[in-house]
Structure 1
Amino acid sequence: MLPVSPSALGGVRFDRSLWLAYVSANRVFGDTVTEVLNTDEDNVWVHDYHLMLLPTFLRRRSYRMYRTLPVREEILRALLNSDLVGFHTFDYARHFLSCCSRMLGIDYESKRGYIGLEYYGRTVSIKILPVGIDMGQLETLMLQFEGRTVLLGVDDMDLFKGISLKFLAMGQLLEEHQEWRGRAVLVQIANPARSEGKDVQEVHEEMLMVAEKINNRFGTADYQPIILINRTVPTYEKVAYYAIAECCVVNAVRDGMNLVPYKYTVCRQWSPALGGKPKKSMIVVSEFIGCSPSLSGAIRVNPWNVDAVADAMNLAIKMPEPEKQLRHEKHFKYVTSHDVAYWARSFDQDLQRACRDHFSKRCWGIGFGLCFRVVALGPNFRKLSVERIASDYRKTSSRLILLDYDGTMMPQASENKSPSDEVISVLKSLCSDPKNVVFVVSGRGKDSLSRWFGPVEKLGISAEHGFFTRKSGDAPWETCLLTPDFDWKKMAEPVMRLYMETTDGSSMEHKESAIVWHHQDADPDFGSCQAKELLDHLESVLANEPVVVKRGQHIVEVKPQGVSKGMVVESLISKMSAGGKPPDFILCVGDDRSDEDMFESIVGGPALPAAAKVFACTVGKKPSKAKYYLMTQLTS
């Protein structure tokens, strides 16, 4: 068990020394792999929870530890330094994706059957495929050993395998169905425990006690209902048991993949005990183990419900032969087509797909300790040079300056949303130059922007993502639509209100041109789920309305078609060009998704003079359509 995982049966306290030992072990693996790794040609495939930190140690050059970081975030960020993360079942993947959403605010996207997480410009692919078994080894062994007659359970000796619960179910079967007394035998192979301790000893003693009680109750001189093999059993002997078992019972209360049912199915197919008869097999499997979803013909049970397990065992034994054959055929077809070779080949193919665009990007290492992460950026993306922009600013005579507000001039986390005296002073200075056209382009409403920037008379403002625009403080507001139609609000508002009322922590924002549903204060998983549902609901309800429904960071917004910050940029450039003063200098600064429309319009919008100096700049070193970045807000 990971030293960071609390025990399910007792709440073991976190021991940092064990965590640091875990980190050190991963570091040793990282050092060793790095010594032999050819980074241009080799792929690295990391298996299981023992090495969850290894991707970070292979990605970064410095191995210094920062002990103050919360270890769960460290593990998540370490795994996200991989290109492909694989899970045996969707249930496992779902927990991982939920952690990414709750702790890091990263939601997954599904595109054409592939699941991916966008993480600092890289797509971390998620693959779900259970591991297979080695067909060749089992088939060879089955030809070598013949003639064993057994009914089987195969489990490790630990507290999660549910062996005692299985024995109790066997006793319940014999109690309720007397026809099986003297006929049904459960052979339990108990592999030796991998560790020692009080918990393991108690489980072992309980198992012996329950087996003895049931054997005393239903056994005779020549019949034991439970045969316990409490020793190391070689593979060839296990194969013999698999081959002759009518039913395999795997009822762990919690487990990983557990390949026992796969091995059992293959052995039954090649069993000499069946001779030339139709092949058949039955599986009773716990719903809490990894292989359960892939066994569509198995009888799934809750291992804690002893009566249900007993009923499942009875159903499996009494099931008509044709039904047993059909279920076996279904399982065997899956197991043979999804063997270990298929599993490895499939992962290799998806890893190649996940890495194919690596050479078209520049990757940067950011952060310290296990919060280190790899950021993938465009090849021409670079930090904005103050000296460069100042030089070009002085040489030009028709300048267009476009500034986002929240996150650009004002930190997103600031409680006081009004601009500081420093911001007002800087804007006044820029606007006082007759060579400058300065606009604040924001998603906020026009009333608050008018009030805040009233002292800057020559400042242009574009509010609600460009729906309202005015050239200066004394100019009237203009809308980007000739005949605005807001009848759609009567349809959208009740739908949003329903989701607000059923999602604790969410809220609605009414703008003159749009309605926004916010869920940043809701439960991350539920809020994200509700946002997806709301998006689908609104798109269906408003399918014939002149609006667009967009999902942003913690929001779902409905606004008129044709309204975007990109349209504002294109309109301003066109008007300046029509007035005989096409811009020869453009500075556009923003920080979020809506600002990407501005960056895109500068590159692909109205024609600019060939010698125009263009600086599209995002706040923060992150993937963007802008070619430049600043690390902090403009006023920092």
Structure 2
Amino acid sequence: MDSSQMSTSNARASDATPDGMTTNRRIINVTHMIPFDPRMKVSDTEGVQWELTTRRGHSALYSGIRSLDAEWNNYHVGFVGPVFDEEKQVESSHLTNDHKKSLEGCLAKFKVVPVWLEDAEHHGHYEGFCKTVLWPLFHYILWENATDGREEKINWEQYLKVNSRFTDKICEVYQPGDLVWIHDYHLLMVPQMLRKRIPNAAIGLFIHAPFPSSEIFRCLPRRKEVLNGMLGANQIGFQTYSYARHFTSNCTRILGYESTPGGVDCKGSIVSVGPFPIGIDTGRIEKQRKQPEVLQRMNAIREMFPGKKIIVGRDKLDLVKGVIQKLRAFDKFLSLYPAWQNKVVLIQVTSPALTESPKLERKVAELIAHINATYGSLEYTPVHHYHNNTGEVDYFALLSVADIGLITSVRDGMNTTSLEYIMCQQENYGPLILSEFTGMAGSLSASIMVNPWDYTGVAKAINDALLLPVEEKRVKHMQLLKHVTSHTAQFWARSFIKELLSSLSIRDQTNVTPYLDIPTLLKKYKAAKRRLLLFDYDGTLTPIVNTPSQAVPSPHMLELLQELTNDPKNTVWVVSGRDQESLQRWLGKVKKLGFSAEHGSFLKNPDSDKWINLTEDIDMSWMHDVDEIFTYFTERTQGSSIEYKRSSITWHYRQADPEYGAFQAKECQNHLESAILPKLPVEILAGKKNLEVRPTLINKGEIVRRLLTNMPDVDFVFCAGDDRTDEDMFRVIKKSELPEDIYFCTTIGAANKKTMAGWHVATSEEVIQMIRRIVMHENGVSNSEVGES
């Protein structure tokens, strides 16, 4: 596509939608590279002129994005990459500032915003972390030659730095209402970085590579950071259902997040996860395959191999593309089916890989030499290998003239060669032999599926394909063609955006809890004469930990609580599900601090050392029946345990296998609801990796009700919690007769978390930071000195 064609296609975005209505909707598409190869021409009269040609590779991606032009204003953010002048290739970082500005002006006409990177940044990001760490891992290749710790640290820092650069550029062009669509593993930290900068941004992420199972992905040292970076998106798309399932499993097993049929529950916010198989631009392929030059080249190829059946393979020379497996299978085919010797040729085209592998090239050459020496002659060469980037004419001619398309990738994400082969076989009906490990395998069920490691099986598939009756070939081809022409690159792009808009619509329909208004809180706190401050413990004053006994308070947090209780205007309570002993051991040194233990079963007033048992008159015989059920599931769920309290009993499964533990918890809850609830005055609380059974009449809300009754003159209330049990506190406060402007019910978690609270903060650390703000503000320290939370 030349520059005049590009300006025409991009101009459509600002005109009108198909129904004639103008639109200002924008998508900011973010890819590692911009979609153009810039070429610089310098003349004495006209100065610097830029010629933009469509970048080779990822044509399906760019076709899908361009198809949205009719309804969206498409903007594009990406790294410039190498720039060509009339003599040689130069790095974009070596351009003068004037050249950069002139190129930016040229790209701006096509709504392309370039990201400029220094050589060290690009090397550490792309050749370092992307290609030596992420790419092998995503393709199930563990690192044989691990880099030293210093180099690994530098590459990770450069990966973060480049992702930050992209985030800065997105923020420069972002407008409220924009969709941001981020592509592939080069930019996995951008969603989280952008979410922190623009909390309400609509962010989609699509991974074009495979995504590995948790057994492989957990080998990544930065696994938590990468997963959390991805979870900044509203929606994450993958090539196949299995890749999407692998991602949710990783989030469950590594981060401890719950998964749902629609995605991952990330701190109360659901991140949609799903498969979106990519397609190709069938209109472009149909036009190109019918060019006169292609037809001429097809005739030339047939003349080169008269009377021969032609098998075509076209791959990058990467380990995962299965070229070695293909050659060994072809060797096995000629050995097991000698009747096909001198009648079948394999034309294998391998384009150079991004990272050269002399060892792989040597092995390929040795296998080809062995096959040709064993089965060839002066008149017959079984394997013809072309190790270069073929032009489109040769490529489409080969796909069109072939009798079999052979793809034996051992791991592949977006393999569009298979789709292009199907488009080019509309007259010949040549069968497609496809590795079951490609991302397209699940979509192309009418192809002949093979395990590339089973050389005998692949050899048999080749023989079967050659002997397939014409009518059966036609039927299989029509099934494949129907899928390819209906699931195009355009369909892929529209499906992803449609699903993203749908998920955003659902999110918008839920109540979004605003972030805690700290300036107003400080103002109300300062003016109040009688204050009540209520804090949950786990997940509020301390982070959630895998082992409950390790949730030890920090010295800093204890100092801040003491500062609060020292103020005579304050009444401070910790209202927790913890037992008396734990609260006393961890927080007992804080003077004038009130305690409620076991969800309101026990009280200790701020001015007393005596615990009050509120369950003395309640029948607790039900605990034996619950204990039997919990014991049954503990024996059958490795890593689970039972915690006994005086008024409740809890089954923990945080250290069990995440998926099996969640399954067992549902089974246990169903059993409790059918066997215990109908006949006993108890309720079941499904918490964070636990099930708790407690008396119905005892809860945190009752404690808050008692405190408010004893403090009729209270004129400031702050209540913070993260769990379902804390909703009882929020509910009582909201239903009280207190004016709305004097209480601040605050949940810890995502903004769209279902809650009775009127405010939210994201983490327990922000709760501590807020307490620090209160203490410092009360002591006369300004907000600027304290710092933003």
TM-score, L = length of structure 1: 0.75
Which SS does the other structure have where 2:319 is aligned?
A: coil
Match of 1:89 among 217, 232, 240: 240
CA contact (8 A) 1:361 1:377 kept: no
Match of 1:373 in 2: none
2:633 maps to amino acid: M
Task: Call closer, same or farther: CA 1:593–1:210 in 2, change over 3 Å.
Answer: same
What amino acid sits opposite 2:383 in the alignment?
I
**Cα distance in structure 1, aligned partners of 2:370 and 2:326:** 13
Match of 2:457 in 1: 308
Question: Which residue pairs with 2:480 in the alignment?
Answer: 331
Output the CA distance in 2 between the equivalents of 1:436 and 1:27: 43
Q: Is the 8 A contact 1:165 1:304 kept in 2?
A: yes
Structure 2 CA distance for aligned equivalents of residues 449 and 193 of structure 1: 60
Deviation of 1:176 (Å): 1.4
Q: How does 1:178-257 map to 2 (within 5 A)?
A: 178-196=338-356, 199=357, 201-257=358-414
Tell me, in whole angstroms, the C-alpha distance in 1 between the residues paired with 2:504 and 2:485: 29
Q: Which residues of structure 2 form unaligned runs of 5+?
A: 1-125, 199-220, 303-309, 776-789
Residue from 109, 112, 129 that aligns with 2:260:
109
> Which deviates more from structure 2 when the two are superposed, residues 464-473 or residues 88-97?
464-473
State the distance in 1 between where 2:346 and 2:635 align.
55
Q: 2:759: which partner in 1?
A: 627
Q: 1:38-49 alignment to 2 at 5 Å?
A: 38-49=174-185
Work out whether 1:11 is the aligned partner of 2:136: no
Unpaired runs of at least 5, structure 1: 63-69, 274-279, 363-375
SS in 1 for 2:622: coil
CA contact (8 A) 1:361 1:379 kept: no
| 1:171 corresponding residue in structure 2 | 331
Q: 1:99 to 1:564 in 2, by over 3 A?
A: farther
1:419 & 1:202 partners in 2: Cα distance?
A: 55
Q: Which amino acid aligns with 2:260?
A: E
Query: Residue 496 of structure 1: which of 627, 633, 655 is its match?
Result: 633
Note the C-alpha offset of 1:137.
1.4
Query: Residue 65 of structure 1 corresponds to which residue in structure 2?
Result: none
Change in CA separation of 1:427 and 1:238 when aligned onto 2, cut-off 3 Å: closer
Contact map agreement 1:52 1:79 (CA 8 A) in 2? yes
Deviations 1:160-193 (A, max 9, x none): 3221221111111121123333333322222234
Q: Is the 8 A contact 2:164 2:190 kept in 1?
A: yes
Q: Which moved more, 1:226-235 or 1:622-631?
A: 622-631
Corresponding residue number in structure 2 for 1:389: 525
Is the Cα–Cα contact under 8 Å of residues 266 and 332 in structure 1 kept in the other structure?
Answer: yes
Residue 372 of structure 1 corresponds to which residue in structure 2? none
Structure 2 residue identity aligned to 1:223? Y
Q: 1:216, CA displacement in angstroms?
A: 2.3
Structure 1 residues 299 and 564, CA, compared in 2 at 3 Å: closer, same or farther? farther
Counterparts of 1:564 and 1:241, CA distance in 2: 76
Q: Distance in 1 between matches of 2:167 and 2:587?
A: 55
- Quote the Cα distance in structure 1 between the aligned partners of 2:432 and 2:176: 46
Q: 1:222 to 1:456 in 2, by over 3 A?
A: closer
**In the alignment, which residue of structure 2 is the partner of 1:286?**
435
Correspondence list, 1:434-583, <5 A: 440-445=574-579, 462-466=596-600, 473=610, 475-478=612-615, 485-486=622-623, 488-489=625-626, 492-500=629-637, 502-503=638-639, 506-521=640-655, 527-544=657-674, 545-546=676-677, 550-553=685-688, 555-560=689-694, 562=696, 565-569=699-703, 572=706, 576=709
CA distance in 2, matches of 1:475, 1:310: 79
Aligned mates of 2:543, 2:379 — CA distance in 1: 81
Match for residue 31 of structure 2? none
- Aligned counterparts of 1:22 and 1:447: Cα–Cα separation in 2: 47
Shift of 1:344: 0.7
* CA distance 1:165–1:440, change in 2 (3 Å): closer
Query: Aligned to 1:45, what secondary structure does the other structure show?
Result: strand
Query: Percent of aligned positions with the same letter in both sequences?
Result: 28
Q: Conserved in 1, the CA contact under 8 Å of 2:248 and 2:264?
A: no
Distance between the aligned counterparts of 2:430 and 2:514, measured in 1? 56
Offset of residue 213 of structure 1: 1.6
1:346 is matched with 495
- Matched AA of 2:421: Y
Relative distance call for 1:314 and 1:416 in structure 2 (3 A) is closer
Alignment partners' CA distance in 2, 1:118 and 1:416? 21
| Greater Cα offset, 406-415 or 417-426 | 417-426
Does 2:279 correspond to 1:132?
yes
- Name the SS for the 1:253 alignment partner: coil
Measured on the aligned residues, the alpha-carbon RMSD in Å equals: 4.5
3-state SS of the aligned residue for 2:180? coil
Letter in 2 for 1:335: V
Counterparts of 2:768 and 2:571, CA distance in 1: 24
Q: Is the 8 A contact 1:90 1:128 kept in 2?
A: yes
Q: Deviations over 1:607-628 (max 9, x none)?
A: 4255883232457998772537
Judged with a 3 Å threshold, the aligned counterparts in structure 2 of structure 1 residues 517 and 539 are, in CA distance, closer, same or farther, namely closer
- Deviation for aligned residue 1:212: 2.3
Determine if contact 1:465/1:563 at 8 Å carries over to the other structure. no
Give the TM-score normalised by structure 2: 0.62
* Amino acid aligned to 1:295: L
Paired letter, 2:147: R
Over residues 454-479 of structure 1, what are the superposed CA-to-partner deviations in whole Å (9 max), with x where a residue is unaligned?
99999976443245678883755327
Q: CA deviation at 1:260?
A: 1.6
> How far does residue 106 in structure 1 lie from its aligned partner after superposition?
3.6
* 1:590–1:618 Cα contact (<8 Å) kept: yes
Partners of 1:521 and 1:193 in 2: CA distance: 43
Counterparts of 1:350 and 1:411, CA distance in 2: 34
Alignment of 1:131-150 (within 5 A): 131-144=278-291, 145-146=294-295, 150=310
Amino acid at match of 2:321: K
Displacement after TM superposition at 1:388 (Å): 2.5
Q: Offset at 1:347?
A: 1.6
Match in the other structure for 1:371: none
Greater alpha carbon shift after TM alignment, 464-473 vs 185-194: 464-473
Which residue identity does 1:478 align to in structure 2?
A: T
- Which of 404, 409, 415 is the equivalent residue of 2:536? 404
Asked if the contact 1:407–1:591 (Cα under 8 Å) also holds between the matched residues in 2, the reply is yes
Matched position secondary structure for 2:411: coil
Q: What secondary structure does 1:248 align onto?
A: strand
The letter of the residue matching 1:632 is I
Would you say the 8 A contact 2:602–2:612 is kept in 1?
Answer: no
Report what 1:589 is aligned to: 719
The Cα of 1:263 is off from its aligned counterpart by: 1.5
For residues 409-467 of structure 1, give each alpha carbon's deviation from its aligned partner in whole angstroms, at most 9, with x where no partner exists: 6776785969999899889989xx9x998765321235666899999999976443245
Distance 1:345 1:288 in 2: 26
Please state whether the residue corresponding to 1:393 is helix, strand or coil. Answer: coil
Contact 1:584 1:608 in 2 (8 A): no
How far the C-alpha of 1:343 sits from its partner, in A, is 0.6
> Contact conserved, 1:87 with 1:128, CA < 8 A, in 2?
yes
CA distance in 1, matches of 2:551, 2:176: 50
Corresponding residue number in structure 2 for 1:277: none
2:349 and 2:168 map into 1 onto residues whose CA distance is 40
Per the TM alignment, residue 253 of structure 1 is displaced from its structure 2 partner at its CA by: 2.4
Match for residue 514 of structure 2?
378
Match for residue 366 of structure 1?
A: none
Instruction: Quote the Cα distance in structure 2 between the aligned partners of 1:382 and 1:186.
Output: 71
CA deviation map 1:483-526 (0-9, x unaligned): 863464255224421344x34xx43323355443334445xxxx
Paired residue total: 580
